[in-house]
Chains A and B, each alone.
Chain A
Amino acid sequence: MATEYTFPENAAKAPAAAPDFGPERMSISMGPSHPSTHGVLRLQLELDGEVVTKADPVVGYLHRGDEKIAENMTYNQFVPYTDRLDYLAPLANNVAYAIAVERLAGLEMPPRCQATRVVISELARISSHLMGLGAFGIDVGAWTVFLYTFTEREKLYRLFEELTGARFTTSYTRIGGAARDVPDGWLDRVGAFCDQFLPILEETLALLTRNRIFIDRTADIGVINKEDAIAYGLTGPNLRGCGVPLDLRKDRPYSGYEQYEFDVPVGSKGDSFDRYLCRGEEMRQSVRIIRQAIKNFPGGAWYAEDAKRIFAPPKDKILTSMEELIQNFMLVTEGPQMPPGEVYFEAENPKGALGFFVVSKGGGVPWRLKIRSPSFCNLSILPKVCVGAMLTDIVAILGSFDFVMGECDR
């Protein structure tokens, strides 16, 4: 990203070497209920004056045992649990989980279902990034941004509610399709949202991008180089902010992403400001993808019609036809029937690559379901990044990482 943000006094400000404050170190526990930890992350810090000499993230306060739970229920019953992973983008989690299990079954979705999933994934990305930017702004003292972004999120919630019946915990996808088809006129309202959203997004980003205080707080803070980012398994905007142009939507296209034109923004320095810039640009690209998708929205089936042992038949047929009634009964009692095997699928979610590793022994219940959570991997680099930073910079680093503890702790 070739944005210029050099101020002569910044060079003097940056702590090149940790100043020597003598032998005394202070141990301080930041979190689990610190406002800048966005949930329940605890950082056990060791300070030399204001400079962090050691950082040990303590995670697990939100551990609910989702993987254990998944081993004890049918595939569709686990969909609501995926809402509660990255609870700022539940629709994207639903999509990632559904595609992972469909890969296990060897199912290919019809174009209408794929396009729906692209639209909702991108809407979820916008919603998540809006939250990320708003909270980042608050962390470094820019309150107004949050008010702008939350107004837009509220409009997105209305769209989600119309599609799924829930604002927050959507549980929209099913293995082999979705809970329902797109409602009449919904796509027009998504288009209208995009039209009014872009000017507001520009206005919102303008509050930060050339904001002197924001740049002072974030530029050259939390710098990560490419090699470290890859070695620690960073993904998503945090990896792209370091200059690695890796986007699974482009590099491993799924759900028909190869049909859409969009750019992958990358940062140049790998600091907190670059990560912010990447998220801002990604929202513009998401709008671009959504516009292409709804312009040529495919007709036809919205679920896999031939997958009779995986996806439930339409309700009117269940109530009138014996065969469909039996099919539905078997699906509800025994779950969608899967072949034995192992599948790993990663989707490009707002926070990074959300992966599901499914081990099946056949039948309707997974033997093992591992959730590879991007926030967990992204946070594992904190002990390296935080050392040498000032205590106040920790807030700017955490805000730029845009993690979610529900996903990190599972």
Chain B
Amino acid sequence: MTATADVATFLTERFPLVAGRPSLDYPAFNAPAAQVLEVLRGLRDEAGYDLLADVTAIDWSAAKSPRFTVVWHLFSTVGHQYVRLAADCADDAHPSMPSATGLWPGANWHEREAYDMFGLTFAGHPDLRRILMWDGYPYFPLRKDFPLAGLDTALPDLAVADETGVSVKPAPYMGGPFVAAPGSTIEAGEPRAKDQSWSEGQEKPKET
């Protein structure tokens, strides 16, 4: 079977639990987390999607459950088609997903990044360490409850932190970001609506 054959027919016949997912471009499917590896293997070996283009996660905000969705993008180097597969993480407090490193060694770094940014653990990953932030960093920055400016954090080298008493400070953000978020009013995006401490009449507070 080649990748040019209808991937939707293939998936629904082979994996009845896989359902379609709304998408504006490529065929997209939702799979149950327990079955994800089988589906990925089927897509790779039987449908010809041999290149794992991307693995990432989406945080739907702390108020939503399921909170985290993992998304895989596969590409076929023969049929030149993309397919998107998504799976929700069952546990919102300790989200986890089976690791695809056994299928694609290239998944290693993508999953490390998703762990680093979202705190998702990948069961079966050989070396789940932080990749972009430093080892020992206490937060998961791409979660929606992590502030854009960052949080006061100890320096990577604790010996240096003890000696100097210096820490990593949040960015001086002065009420930003200055945009209207989806669903809010224009006024909410105004800088001074968010932070009254800095205006024409009042001086910019000194950074500590």
Contact = CB atoms under 8 A, between A and B. Distances in A.
Contacts of B133: 60, 63
B77 A231 contact: no
B53 A355 contact: yes
B82 interface: yes
B28 interface: yes
B148 A68 contact: yes
Contact of A357 (B51, B56, B182, B189): B56
Given A63-B132, A231-B104, A252-B80, A344 B26 contact: yes
A344 B25 contact: yes
A370 B117 CA distance: 11
A57 to B, nearest CB: 9
A251 to B, nearest CB: 4
Interface in A193-252: 228, 230-233, 244, 246, 251-252
B203 to A, nearest CB: 26
Contacts of B182: 361-365, 367
A343 B25 contact: yes
Given A345-B25, A357-B71, A368-B59, A251 B54 contact: no
A333 B106 contact: no
B77 A103 contact: no
Contacts of A372: 53-54, 56, 73
A363 B73 contact: no
A374 B95 CA distance: 27
B168 interface: no
B53 A353 contact: yes
Given A60-B133, A230-B51, A362-B182, A342 B22 contact: yes
A368 B179 contact: no
A344 B56 CA distance: 12
Chain A interface main SS type: mixed
B132 A370 contact: no
Interface string B9-24: 0000000000001111
Contact of B179 (A73, A251, A344, A370): A73
B151 to A, nearest CB: 12
Interface in B37-82: 50-54, 56, 58-59, 71, 73, 75, 77, 80, 82
A91 interface: no
B200 to A, nearest CB: 20
A246 B53 CA distance: 13
A103 B24 CA distance: 8
B148 A233 contact: no
Contacts, number: 129
A69 B146 CA distance: 12
B90 interface: no
B134 interface: yes
A79 interface: no
Which of the four size classes fits the interface of chain B?
A: 35 or more
Nearest to A338: B182
Given A74-B179, A334-B186, A342-B84, A357 B106 contact: no
Which of the four size classes fits the interface of chain A?
A: 35 or more
Contacts of B117: 67
B108 interface: yes
A344 B180 contact: no
A346 B53 contact: yes
A251 B22 contact: no
A318 interface: no
A233 B104 contact: yes
Contacts of A384: 105
A68 B118 CA distance: 12
B180 A364 contact: yes
Between B176, B179, B183, the greatest number of chain A beta carbons within 10 A of the residue's beta carbon is seen for B179
Given A67-B142, A357-B54, A363-B182, A344 B82 contact: yes
Interface string B160-182: 00000000000000001101111
Given A334-B186, A372-B53, A60 B131 contact: yes
A72 interface: yes
B26 A59 contact: no
B27 to A, nearest CB: 11
A83 to B, nearest CB: 19
A378 to B, nearest CB: 10
Interface string A51-73: 00000000110010101110011
Given A68-B142, A73-B179, A364-B179, A60 B50 contact: no
Contacts of A370: 54, 56
A231 B100 CA distance: 11
B25 A233 contact: no
Instruction: Across the A-B interface, give the 8 residue pairs with the lowest CB-CB distance, nearest first.
Output: A363-B182, A233-B106, A60-B132, A72-B177, A251-B80, A341-B24, A232-B106, A380-B109
14 contacts: A72-B148, A232-B105, A232-B106, A233-B104, A344-B53, A346-B75, A355-B54, A355-B73, A362-B182, A370-B54, A372-B54, A380-B109, A381-B106, A384-B105
Given A342-B21, A345-B25, A367-B58, 18 more contacts: A60-B132, A60-B133, A63-B132, A65-B141, A74-B179, A233-B104, A244-B77, A252-B80, A335-B179, A335-B180, A341-B24, A343-B25, A346-B53, A355-B73, A357-B56, A364-B182, A365-B180, A380-B106
